[in-house]
Amino acid sequence: MSHYYRLVVSCPDRRGIVARVSGFIAGHGGSITEASQHSDLEAGRFFMRYEILTDSIGMTAGELKEAFEPVAREFDMDWALRDTRRRPRVVILASRESHCLVDLLYRWTAGELEGDIVGVISNHDDMRSMVEWHGLPYHHVPVGDDKSAAFDEVERHVEALEADSVVLARYMQILPPRICQRYAGRVINIHHSFLPSFAGARPYHQAHSRGVKLIGATCHYVTEELDAGPIIEQDIHRVSHCHTPQDLVRFGRDVEKAVLARGLRWHLEDRVLIHGNKTVVFA
Amino acid sequence: MSHYYRLVVSCPDRRGIVARVSGFIAGHGGSITEASQHSDLEAGRFFMRYEILTDSIGMTAGELKEAFEPVAREFDMDWALRDTRRRPRVVILASRESHCLVDLLYRWTAGELEGDIVGVISNHDDMRSMVEWHGLPYHHVPVGDDKSAAFDEVERHVEALEADSVVLARYMQILPPRICQRYAGRVINIHHSFLPSFAGARPYHQAHSRGVKLIGATCHYVTEELDAGPIIEQDIHRVSHCHTPQDLVRFGRDVEKAVLARGLRWHLEDRVLIHGNKTVVFA
Amino acid sequence: MSHYYRLVVSCPDRRGIVARVSGFIAGHGGSITEASQHSDLEAGRFFMRYEILTDSIGMTAGELKEAFEPVAREFDMDWALRDTRRRPRVVILASRESHCLVDLLYRWTAGELEGDIVGVISNHDDMRSMVEWHGLPYHHVPVGDDKSAAFDEVERHVEALEADSVVLARYMQILPPRICQRYAGRVINIHHSFLPSFAGARPYHQAHSRGVKLIGATCHYVTEELDAGPIIEQDIHRVSHCHTPQDLVRFGRDVEKAVLARGLRWHLEDRVLIHGNKTVVFA
Amino acid sequence: MSHYYRLVVSCPDRRGIVARVSGFIAGHGGSITEASQHSDLEAGRFFMRYEILTDSIGMTAGELKEAFEPVAREFDMDWALRDTRRRPRVVILASRESHCLVDLLYRWTAGELEGDIVGVISNHDDMRSMVEWHGLPYHHVPVGDDKSAAFDEVERHVEALEADSVVLARYMQILPPRICQRYAGRVINIHHSFLPSFAGARPYHQAHSRGVKLIGATCHYVTEELDAGPIIEQDIHRVSHCHTPQDLVRFGRDVEKAVLARGLRWHLEDRVLIHGNKTVVFA
């Protein structure tokens, strides 16, 4: 299996960025295997993502970063360089509805995710044996009246697990602003509606009573405002008058699993760049 | 080409409805070629639609209605019987964006619609020659400051054209309550978003600034409340960060055409039953 | 939870079938909660499926069958009546690729299937602990040079498990004609292509080298002719030049899981009626 | 409206191509507004497409080509540079089924295509007045027993119309090898099935008798081998046992229109690069 340096850049758009960056990499003998770029003409901003074969460059990630620093400064870049040999660590927060959790565990086991699930935190104890069967720690943190204490405990677990990213796999609890800020751009939620329709509680029931003909799910980054963060991915499922709210819930599970899995996969592969309240997704 | 009596029923749900209705039809020698039914368990309401070969019944529509009347009373039915030899008359209201109008004209010409377009009313004169090329009258009714006078004229044209149904093919004007009430359940609109997201003006621009990954269109019956009537059909198109609002508009046109055409087709085939703010669609 | 008698009928099309059958049920006080029917005009054949609330009929399944027998004879029906209190028993045959197996186990656990998985047979031992974690027997039957002996053993296990239906969840082995015949209409396979394209081996590689822009999966009944049995369900996933055969395999897994789950679900709910080499699916 | 130089390149993959090309453009002050690239690792081939703002470069297309020639030679490139101020000329070949023709005429009128339809050739005279209403020449060339003479006449018209590209909009005739070769990579066909399923005649009837649950359409370049050329785009529509071959034909029309329109649009925007029997589509 090959390893890569992944360079992700966002900066004010102007001429010569690609020439400068690709020239820099070619100058160090780097072999680019995947390149994506996007100019947001409205915002005047440029986004790019390069995958560079690690072996083609005779430098460590640290050395390469240092060498790139002047280029980044010249173009006023927000940027990151990641070495894929260090796999990101993912903590999953789950609740009773376990379909997304089980789906992610399977995908991780099957090698579909470029990262490692390192632990599960849940406000219920139901999924303990399934999670432990996968060799993972399971932390049961009930969320009762003292939410503040519960979320302090959640945060301690996330920290102790050295999470790079946190996934709310139908967690059904609203994270306190402190955690949202601390892990900004690294907490992914799956909302069970086609946002911005039906934000908030019981979206399938809302959808059913509005009589929509499609239901959906939305994977997005969590921000302090509920269900309003940058959208990573969405998909839908066709429904009809035949279907009860329970059918919608069942169809919804499949859409949620698929949408969350795609969103997380892209996030872990550094394909999602946040800009304001929107995302650029180099899928 | 075969002709049908189309029986459409909605009534309180109870045992024996199907047996009673199908027994009635069998008793008159009727041959049912298509049958659909639905029980809304929540609302306790039953819906059905039968297509009966006209030739299999030795009665006129009027005689058949009279014979069915006691059955209908027994089960407290809302019902209609339509003879497909009388094709419904459709008037299209359009504006500058002509894709839906052109699409419907083509489908009518190609024999895809079970009804006849009998005239077009528009607040612009742009599409006159295209419409007249199809042999149809074109009424240019500008909607300026005196909206009331304009809509009086629109209503007179609709009436003179003996419209059974009215289609707002991206008409971009809000019909006055009087017309909505008069033609309740017979005015179909295409809204260029996935309702209830982005009701109101410029939905594609709203969608673009929210950063959604899917855009949609919604075909619905017009009620007095803007963009809130019973939904007939919806569909979506995938978009990404690459796409400008103009791209969304372009993709949207294709979705709008398809969704409106399906919605209108079903409406003309008596496949859409309205119940409160929802529809049963026997597609 | 309510229970039902499910009546499934296929017979030569003629007038009065619905009236006769619904009259029969109404005559026994039966309450029909779901009804589907279809006339195949080309083949001159009629298909129907009724769900009748068990409690609304004061008869056992046996008594009801006996009472219905004369009606069935009158119309020359192929028919079945099933009592949903007896849940069908499903045996899964699997191999190394475990995504479909894991998916079905989860859906069973989550209550999505109207039947019970009662055992798993595999030509590899890999999935034993996962299957046993679900409390199910796991039979490892390697298929080596003596295929005949192996399939005799498979058949013995299927028999001992009292299987009503058998699912080939990416089993990758061709069942011998004897098993196909014995379990005709009860063995469901998932083929990893959009049949009839790319029948046979390595369909994703075939698809990749043909340069198609969509890949698919097909759930079908197994017949003696490879990949040619009646199709129950199909779906697709969009691909592009960016994707390697490995990507196609990964996308394909998701399509396969979804398509097989839908197909099996409909089969277990008696929604699939086979007619020649085609199916009527009352989904 | 902005104009662009469009640079499209395919060459053996090696390090430094992007740096060299983007450096070349930056060196001439060029502003790249859209860039796409793809490495086919299997084939060892690299593909790229740049849109360069014409105004940002103080050179004519001819001068720019001359300046680029040494770079192209250095990397052994197949390449083209197009000035979008010269709009490509499209000739449509049509037959009786007119949905694709009408759809393309509308899209052209609506400004959706980056090229101009300059004439229509048909083996029937039916669509003359519609085409002439659009101000276009219509050539009626019946294809009878002497096919060779007919296609000589078709070719003369295509030539006289100075066609850059030819679209077979459900033309239903097989082009002779000479025309296929002469316009290689510039003749686009819409086939009414999901190729490679159901190549040849009456694909919807083939699909109906196989009992598939999805029908499709395929837009591809025409080669001498029937229905086997490089695929540009495909899409599908869901069908069920309810649908007759006529329904499939009707659904198919919508898929065909959409797929052909997308394929042609991408072709005219130089987004489709042919490689062997496959395409790279920078959509």
Tens-digit pLDDT profile for residues A214-272: 999 999 999 999 889 999 999 999 999 999 999 999 999 999 999 999 999 999 999 99
At B36 the pLDDT is: 94
Report yes or no: A231 and A197 within 8 Å, Cβ to Cβ.
Answer: no
Give the span between the Cα atoms of A13 and A10, in whole angstroms. 9
Domain's final residue, options B83, B101, B134: B83
Q: What mean pLDDT comes out for the span B102-124?
A: 97
Domain C-terminal end among C83, C108, C140: C83
Looking only at the bridges linking them, the beta strands covering B4-12 and B45-53 are antiparallel
Q: Which chains does chain D touch, 3 or more C-beta pairs < 8 A?
A: A, B, C
Average pLDDT over residues C143-162: 96
pLDDT of residue B81: 97
Average pLDDT over residues C154-177: 96
Helices (H), chain A: 17-27, 61-74, 99-109, 128-133, 147-160, 177-182, 203-210, 245-268
- The enclosing domain of B8 has a CATH number of 3.30.70.260
Contacts of residue C244 in chain D, CB cutoff 8 Å?
A: 41-42
3-state secondary structure of A149: helix
Q: What number is the average pLDDT over the span D35-49? A: 93
- C107 and C50 in a common domain: no
Q: Helices marked H in D125-176 — which ranges?
A: 128-133, 147-160
Contact D49, D8 (CB under 8 A): yes
Largest CA distance in chain D: 63
Which among B210, B214, B242 has CB closest to A38?
B242
Domain boundary residue, one of D83, D107, D138 = D83
pLDDT value, residue C1: 72
In this structure, are C58 and C157 located in the same domain? no
Mark A166-189 as b/e (b = at least 16 C-beta within 10 Å).
bbbbbbbeebbeebbeebebbbbb
Chain A contact partners (≥3 CB pairs within 8 A): B, C, D
**pLDDT at residue B1 greater than cutoff 80:** no
Q: What is the mean pLDDT of residues C157-180?
A: 96
Look at residue B162 in the predicted model and tell me its pLDDT: 98
Q: In terms of domains, do A76 and A106 share one?
A: no
Phi, psi (degrees; rounded to nearest 5) at A265: -60, -50
How far is CA C165 from each of CA A143, B182, C72, C180, D54, rounded to the nearest angstrom?
43, 56, 25, 12, 66
Residue from the list A110, A133, A250 with its beta carbon closest to the beta carbon of C99:
A110
Same domain, D63 and D144: no
B44: its two tokens: 């306790």
Question: Within chain B, where are the H helices?
Answer: 17-27, 61-74, 99-109, 128-133, 147-160, 177-182, 203-210, 245-268
Q: How would residue D131 be classed by pLDDT, with cut points 50, 70 and 90? A: very high
User: Pairing between strand C138-140 and D231-238?
Assistant: unpaired
Is the pLDDT at A1 greater than 80? The verdict is no
Mutate to test the interface with B, among C39, C42, C47, C50 (most CBs of B within 10 A): C39
Sheet with A4-12, edge to edge strand ranges: A32-40, A45-53, A4-12, A78-83
Residue of A nearest to C262 (CA): A251
**Residues of D with active-site annotation:** 227
How far is C242 from chain A, CA to nearest CA, in Å? 10
Are B49 and B147 members of one domain? Answer: no
Mean pLDDT of A2-28: 95
Annotated active-site residue A227? The verdict is yes
**Residue-wise pLDDT tens digits, C179-204:** 999 999 999 999 999 999 998 889 99
Q: Taking all residues of chain D, what is their mean pLDDT, rounded to a whole number?
A: 95
| Pair (B269, B180) in one structural domain | yes
Interval A133-139 mean pLDDT: 97
Nearest to C241 by CA among D283, D186, B50, D105: D283
| Mean pLDDT score, C29-49 | 93
pLDDT of C63 higher than 90: yes
Q: How many CA atoms lie within 13 A of D64 on its CB side?
A: 27
DSSP state of A200: S
Asked if pLDDT for residue C84 goes beyond 90, the answer is: yes
Cα–Cα separations (whole angstroms), residue B201 to B174, B226, B232, B251, B253: 11, 11, 20, 17, 16
CB contact under 8 A, A102 and C106: yes
Same domain, A99 and A232: yes
| Greatest C-alpha distance within chain C | 63
Cβ of residue C134 closer than 8 Å to a chain A Cβ: no
Q: Work out the angle at residue C43's Cα, subtended by the Cα atoms of residues C38 and C44, and round it to the nearest 5 degrees.
A: 65
pLDDT at B199: 87
Contact list in B for residue D258 (CB cut-off 8 A) is 254
- The DSSP secondary-structure symbol of D129 reads H
Mean pLDDT of D32-39: 92
Contact of A198 with chain B, judged by CB distance below 8 Å, is answered with: yes
pLDDT of residue A2: 87
Residues A68 and A93 in one domain: no
Q: Which residue among the candidates C227, C235, C247, C270 is catalytic per the annotation?
A: C227
pLDDT score for A41: 86
Task: Summarize pLDDT for D80-103 with one digit per residue, the tens.
Answer: 999 999 999 999 999 999 999 999
Amino acid code (one letter) for C137: P
Structurally, chain D folds into a number of domains equal to 2
Q: Does residue A267 sit in the same domain as residue A189?
A: yes
- Disruptive mutation site among C18, C48, C71, C240 for chain B (greatest number of B CBs within 10 Å): C18
Which residues on adjacent β-strands are paired with residue A165? A90
**Domain span at A68:** 4-83
Instruction: Please name which of B210, B218, B224, B170 lies closest in space to residue B194, comparing C-alpha atoms.
Output: B218
Specify the pLDDT at position D2: 87
Does residue D206 sit in the same domain as residue D137? Answer: yes
DSSP-derived letter for residue B55 is G
D216 touches chain C (CB under 8 A): yes
B197 and B271 belong to one structural domain: yes
User: Could you tell me the CA-to-CA distances from B97 to B215, B239, C2, D88 in Å, in that order?
Assistant: 18, 21, 52, 26
User: For D218-238, what is each residue's pLDDT tens digit?
Assistant: 999 999 998 899 999 999 999
Residues B78 and B141 in one domain: no
Q: Which residue of C has its CA nearest to B45?
A: C33
What CATH number has the domain bearing residue D179? 3.40.50.170
